[in-house]
Amino acid sequence: MYTAHMKGPAVSAEELRRRRDLDDVPSRPQAIREAAIALFFERGYHGTSMRDIASALNMRAPSLYNHLQSKQQLLQDIMISDITIMLEEFADATATTTDIIEKIRRGAEAHVRHHARYARESRIGNTEIAALEEPSQSRLKALRRSYAAEWRGLVEQAVAQGRASTPAPDLASSAIIDMGIGVARWFRTDGRLTDSTLATYYGDFALNLIGAPLMKGTS
């Protein structure tokens, strides 16, 4: 059964073929997952068949079933693992400081960095949720609600401490989340900005959104 949760940006089907030719293919479950990410991103879930995934790996379609149960299982793994990784990164980033404003800054940086580094997975997660079957769809929605609640709590705490002036913490926190989602639509690894530079800018944008001063260096 295919259950691997692999980190790292997806590669294209063409790159997978190049690796295959160089005998540099990663583990079979990882290669299947990467091929699915590339194809779901390019063609959509419903526009991709198991035969397409097998072809990208120079495999016979029936051979895929030695590694996973269905195409739906691939979609579930891609979407659930992506948000799980994002939640872990957010928790790690916000745990590095006790200052509420720095928590928001670092949380925003982690949020944007994730959507830049995992742009394909993020796009799939936001465009293919209707294709996700139960109970995975409900699980994904619950994880998203939990993430939104974490953000709302941080902004409300900043307002309560007099550190932020937004009159609408719920809208401000939603706007921060939406900023990161937007990055996945246009960010390119070969562009003029690195994901880390972009994250720094968006950390400042997040503080502007909540009406907080731009003060760095607080621990």
Map out the domains of the chain as residue ranges: 13-69, 72-210
Average pLDDT over residues 197-209: 96
SS3 95: coil
- Cβ atoms within 10 A of the Cβ of 21, count? 10
Q: Under a CB-based contact definition with an 8 Å cutoff, are residues 177 and 151 in contact?
A: yes
Q: Express each pLDDT in 174-196 by its tens digit.
A: 999 999 999 999 999 999 999 99
Does residue 1 have a pLDDT over 60? Answer: no
Average pLDDT over residues 144-166: 97
Does residue 18 have a pLDDT over 80? Answer: no
DSSP 132: P
Task: List alpha helices for the chain, DSSP H.
Answer: 13-21, 28-43, 50-56, 61-64, 71-94, 100-117, 119-127, 136-160, 169-186, 195-210
Which residue, chain included where needed, has tokens 């997952």? 33
CA 188, 194, 196, 201 torsion: positive or negative?
A: negative
Q: Under a CB-based contact definition with an 8 Å cutoff, are residues 131 and 45 in contact?
A: yes
What pLDDT sits at residue 213?
82
Structure tokens at 64: 């895929």
Average pLDDT over residues 96-117: 97
Cα–Cα distances (Å) from 79 to 76, 82, 122, 138, 147, in that order, read 5, 5, 8, 12, 15
How far is 145 from 34, CA to CA, in rounded Å? 27
- Cβ atoms within 10 A of the Cβ of 87, count? 16
Domain range 13-69, CATH class: mainly alpha
Q: What does pTM read for this prediction?
A: 0.82
Cα dihedral value 134, 136, 141, 142, nearest 10: 110
Cα–Cα distances (Å) from 81 to 41, 76, 125, 198, in that order, read 16, 8, 10, 23
Structure tokens at 26: 């990663």
Q: How confident is the model at residue 64 (pLDDT cuts 50, 70, 90)?
A: confident
What pLDDT sits at residue 54?
92
Q: What is the largest CA-CA distance in the chain?
A: 62
Domain range 72-210, CATH class: mainly alpha
